[in-house]
Structure 1
Amino acid sequence: MSAVSLDGRVAIVTGAGRSLGRAYALALAAAGAAVVVNDVDAEAPAAVVAEIEGAGGRAVASVGPVGPAETADHLVADAVATFGRLDVLVANAGVLRDRVLWKMGDDDFDAVVATHLRGTFTTGRAAAIRMKEQGEGGRIVVIGSPAGQYGSFGQTNYAAVKAGLVAMARTWSLELARDGITANAVIPIALSPMTATIPAYAEAYERFLAGEPIPHELRHDKGLGSPDDVAPLVVWLASSDSAEVTGQAIGIGGDRLTLFSHPEVVEIGYADGGWSAEGIGAAWRDRFAAKAQHSGPPSRRES
């Protein structure tokens, strides 16, 4: 049982049939929340519900593809019909369609946008409407990615939607503040089917599945752990303990907890009457170039 109590709270977790979503659902239930477990096929969420109930918790499966408004409305309806209310949304569902830009098809792009971005929008909207009607506040947690913070080779679609989700959470934190509803983004770094597609981590993922402990250099130096390492942050953000925390992007993985900055201006220049192309070039060389920021995660940048 978690020391942070979610007794009496009701949570929806999308994409909760496996991996990170499953870890979130199990941890929320262990902390006392009743959980609506969503996934696109019936077998996976049913298994998670059985785990939760077997441990003495409360849960119900809600099957459907995240994206359409009908699915979002159905999720909220299931929460209210089964448990009487809704307090927490964890918008986790996602897919990958990795391709470099010149090989990425329209369908590859649209599938990722539909699930991650539209799916979070529709579920967030439905959840916010219900929470506002209840008048007792609420918690919305969206799931971002380091790809959305730094960019990621071969992931135009995925990086774009994950960056968009952080902006979405920050916008919701402004719009929902009066109603006591917080909105935050979790940036997980965990061994999962998604990280297994990264060649540098493929072997580590196979070792993890085989039951081997995650090496210290991954947990500490890379901040890469298991899905269970991420779940406590979701539990905390779902609780009353985090009532004053909103509009934040918080990373967690392995032994590392990270707070990401909001975008901020790093240099400003002025030219009376406006800028010429030549003047911009000179200003870039003289003032801006030294403060230009690099793409990609810090571990991959040249010193």
Structure 2
Amino acid sequence: MDLNNKVAIVTGSGQGLGLAYAQDLARHGAAVVINDVNQDTANNAVASILDEGGRAVAVVAPVGSTDTAQELVATAVENFGRLDVMVTNAGILRDTVLWKMSDDDFDAVINVHLRGTFTCVREAAIRLREQGEGGRIIAIGSPAGQRGNFGQTNYAAAKAGIVGMVRTWAMELQRDGVTVNAVCPVAATAMTETIPFLAPHIASMKNGDPLPPIIRRDVGMGTPHDAAGIISFLASDDAAGITGQAFSVGGDRLALWSHPVLTATAFHDGGWSADDISAQWGSAFAASVESVGEKFPDELMSR
């Protein structure tokens, strides 16, 4: 995998998954713009790449505003001459149940995840179209956006919105040779170690113990670096024909999420009244009702 002529921006890449993405891109030859809200964290991330012989610079700014998006793209161009890859990874959590979620809790998450993805991708698209040589956009989603998750109204809404935007952008940018895909990772990070049934496994991993197969395969969760390979692949020329897709990655598992499709269809002459729906619900639709939330192995949930 040769990314030597590529220049990538990875938002929220000072630590965790974002840092793993940036390091893997740099390991394959790409120059990387690191982004974080903390100067020391950003500096350490840059140093980790430079120490391995890679190329990296940092932009310290919160993602969300157009100003930050423009600064990120300008930094890539000023330092490395071009832009090829935008990875929108920056994110925060403000978890609580619906009836306790404040306006600020909702707005903060939507601003970073959803608006931040929009503003960064918009600026990247403008630059990539000007260059006229194609490009790669990789937006980070989440299983919560695909299936929902208790206590994450704001986060699930933002991540679902990101995948919706990806499908739209894939159509809009196809003629420009720009691919747009979503990646929904599951990894042991600060965002997942608060989940009760995962916490003991993450604690063991921090002590140097390997994650068991039930976590790496059935749950599909591993280290941040386990989720990085798909980012470098999608950034490469090998992925030129892949666009509009949502990938699931974690541990030993790589998968594709389906696009929403109609699962049950019935017709009624003259349209459907409430009584018509009630009369046919059981025979036409009840068997196709889908579950919500992710399904985890019973032996994990019973501990």
Please give the TM-score of this superposition, normalised by the length of structure 1: 0.97
* Match of residue 193 from structure 1: 190
* Match of residue 260 from structure 2: 263
2:104 paired with 1:110: no
Match of 2:246 among 232, 246, 249: 249
Query: In structure 2, the residue corresponding to 1:299 is in which secondary structure?
Result: coil
Contact (CA 8 Å) 2:218, 2:296: kept in 1 or not? no
Q: Per-residue displacement from partner, 1:68-91 (whole Å, max 9, x unpaired)?
A: 000000000000000000000000
Structure 1: gaps spanning 5 or more residues:
none
279-288 vs 130-139, which deviates more?
A: 279-288
Structure 2: gaps spanning 5 or more residues:
none
Deviation at 1:209, TM superposition (A): 2.1
Within 5 Å, give how 1:50-69 maps onto structure 2: 50-69=47-66
* Match of residue 67 from structure 2: 70
Query: In structure 2, the residue corresponding to 1:139 is in which secondary structure?
Result: strand
* Match of residue 20 from structure 1: 17
2:176 paired with 1:179: yes
Deviation at 1:285, TM superposition (A): 1.4
* Match of residue 161 from structure 1: 158
Tell me the amino acid that sits aligned with residue 227 of structure 2: V
Tell me the amino acid that sits aligned with residue 165 of structure 2: M
Contact (CA 8 Å) 2:219, 2:297: kept in 1 or not? no
Within 5 Å, give how 1:120-131 maps onto structure 2: 120-131=117-128
Please give the TM-score of this superposition, normalised by the length of structure 2: 0.97
Contact (CA 8 Å) 2:69, 2:123: kept in 1 or not? yes
Contact (CA 8 Å) 2:13, 2:35: kept in 1 or not? yes
State the alpha-carbon separation in 1 of the partners of residues 271 and 218 from structure 2: 46
Within 5 Å, give how 1:35-46 maps onto structure 2: 35-46=32-43
Identity %: 57
C-alpha RMSD of matched pairs (Å): 1.2
* Match of residue 95 from structure 2: 98
Match of 1:222 among 216, 219, 223: 219
Q: Point out 4+ residue stretches in structure 1 off by more than 3 angstroms.
A: none
Deviation at 1:299, TM superposition (A): 2.4
* Match of residue 147 from structure 1: 144
State the alpha-carbon separation in 1 of the partners of residues 292 and 213 from structure 2: 26
State the alpha-carbon separation in 1 of the partners of residues 276 and 270 from structure 2: 12
197-206 vs 136-145, which deviates more?
A: 197-206
Deviation at 1:211, TM superposition (A): 2.3
2:295 paired with 1:298: yes
How many residues are aligned here? 299
State the alpha-carbon separation in 1 of the partners of residues 227 and 212 from structure 2: 17
State the alpha-carbon separation in 1 of the partners of residues 100 and 288 from structure 2: 33
Contact (CA 8 Å) 2:140, 2:182: kept in 1 or not? yes
Tell me the amino acid that sits aligned with residue 219 of structure 1: R
Deviation at 1:300, TM superposition (A): 7.0
